[in-house]
Structure formats: structure tokens, C-alpha cells
Amino acid sequence: MASPLKQFTIEPILDLNIGETDISFTNSSLWMVITALVLIIFVAVGTRRSSIVPGRWQSAVEYFYQVVADMVRDNVGSGGRPYFPFIFALFMFILFGNLLGLIPGSFTFTSHLAVTFAMAAFIFIGVTLIGIFTHGLKFFSLFFPHGAPIVSAPVLIPIEIISYFSRPISLSVRLFANMTVGHVLLKVIGGGVVALGSFYILPGIVPFMALVAITILEVMIAVIQAYVFAILTCVYLNDALHLH
């Protein structure tokens, strides 16, 4: 019985090395490229020959635009308009990456902490720099208690700083853990279907129904996790732009 963790191994498709650094084109990179291409085709073809009364494809693209635009407007306010393209790209990339990973035989590139932490680290550093450039040194008033007694400051400030630094960790681990655990669960139940159903079909039907239910749950989780990643990015951006 193969391990359910074998599906996450990264295999190089094209071995490339610059000196000691391994920059091969792997199955993870392949699926990132596929996600990007699917996204580009989806948005570009959908908005070609755009009309005021949209057709079906254009409606679908406009729906995603509206979801992200509402998210940015409600969570960042009017000052968040310049950041909309970034949040849109982030949300759609993670969404399509998660969903394409549910295709049997594909690879979920968001199921690797390296990928999600790279995204979360960029967002964290970017948002902190935006905050410092917008407010100067007043940005650090983010950590000072607002309306709390000044005596409690030596206790509250380290707690605030630690919880600020826990943001990229929680952001990345949330997405990585959800994707990994979901796919491990799918593999384990799939193995149960094969084990029970290989001689007679009937015993395999019950785990198969569980597999169908878990797959539906995984589609929901894929969408929700992409949405939560994007909306938390908007919330952190709001914290940096308008200090509390």
C-alpha cells in the first residue's frame, strides 16, 4: 500500500542548475504555468468583444471581478483601489491552483509550505513596507494599546509584536495544511475503496460514497481557503494603511 504522502513529491521535469542552485522545472512549476495559462485564457477570452449586456463567459469573469472588488472595497476602503490588481491576481491564482489540484493525477502546488510561505512572506514584507512608507515611524503605533492603560504597555506590546509576526506563519500554514490534509484524506479513502472493492464491487460502494462527499468538501475548502487568504491579505493591508 503506497503512502498517501507520495503524491506531494516534487519531481523535476527539466533539470536545470545554476552552479549549486537547483532551478529545475518541476511538476510544481508545470502546474503553476498551467494555472496561469488557464487564468489568462479565462479572463482574456471572456472579456474579448465585451458588451454592456454580457454573455455567459463575460458574466463569469465579471462575477470574479465583483467578488474581489467588493472584498477590497469593504476591507481596505477607498485607499485600496491601487492594490486591487494584486489582490485579484493573488485570489484567482490560489483559487485556480487549488481547484486544478483536485483533478485526478494533477499536482496541487499550494500544498507545499515553500510555495505558500513565499507568497505569505512577500505579502507580509510588502504590507509592512507599505505601512512604513505611508505613515513613517508612526506605523509602530500599531503595536501600542489604543485606549488601554499605559501601565499594561510592557506586557501588551511584546504580545502585539509576536501576534503581528505570527500573521505570515498562520496565513501560509492555513493554506498549506488545508490542501495537504485534504489530499491525504482523498488518497486514504481512495485506497480504502480499492482495498474493499477489488474483489467484489459492493463493499467498495460505501467508501466510494464517502469519497464523493469528501471530494465535494474539498472543492468547497479550495474555494474558501483562497477566499480567506485574499480577505486576510486585505485586512492586513487595511491595518497597515489605516492604523487600526
Partner 1 sequence: MEVEAAGLISNGLKLVGAGLAAIGMVGAGVGVGRIWASYIEAIGRNPASKEEIGAFIWIGFAVTEAIALFALIMAFIILAS
Q: Does 227 bind partner 1 (CB under 8 A)?
A: yes
Q: Does 108 bind partner 1 (CB under 8 A)?
A: no
Q: Which three cell numbers stand for residue 213?
A: 462527499
Listed in sequence order, the DSSP H helices in the chain are 27-46, 56-76, 84-100, 113-135, 153-197, 205-241
CB of 176 to partner 1, least distance (A): 8
Parallel, antiparallel or unpaired: strands 25-26 and 12-14: antiparallel
Distance (Å, whole) CA 127 – CA 232: 12
Site map 169..208 versus partner 1, x via CB under 8 A: -x--xx--xx-xx---------------------------
CB of 229 to partner 1, least distance (A): 9
Distance (Å, whole) CA 231 – CA 121: 16
Distance (Å, whole) CA 237 – CA 72: 10
Q: Does 231 bind partner 1 (CB under 8 A)?
A: yes
Q: Which stretch binds partner 1 (CB under 8 A): 84-92, 100-108, 128-136, 168-176?
A: 168-176
Taking CA 11 as the corner, what is the angle to CA 9 and CA 12, rounded to the nearest 5 degrees? 155
Distance (Å, whole) CA 232 – CA 131: 16
Q: Does 112 bind partner 1 (CB under 8 A)?
A: no
Q: Which is nearer to partner 1, 141 or 170 (CB)?
A: 170
Q: Which stretch binds partner 1 (CB under 8 A): 136-144, 148-156, 166-174, 189-197?
A: 166-174
CB of 223 to partner 1, least distance (A): 9
Distance (Å, whole) CA 68 – CA 146: 31
Q: Which is nearer to partner 1, 139 or 180 (CB)?
A: 180
Residues that bind partner 1 (CB under 8 A): 170, 173-174, 177-178, 180-181, 224-225, 227-228, 231-232
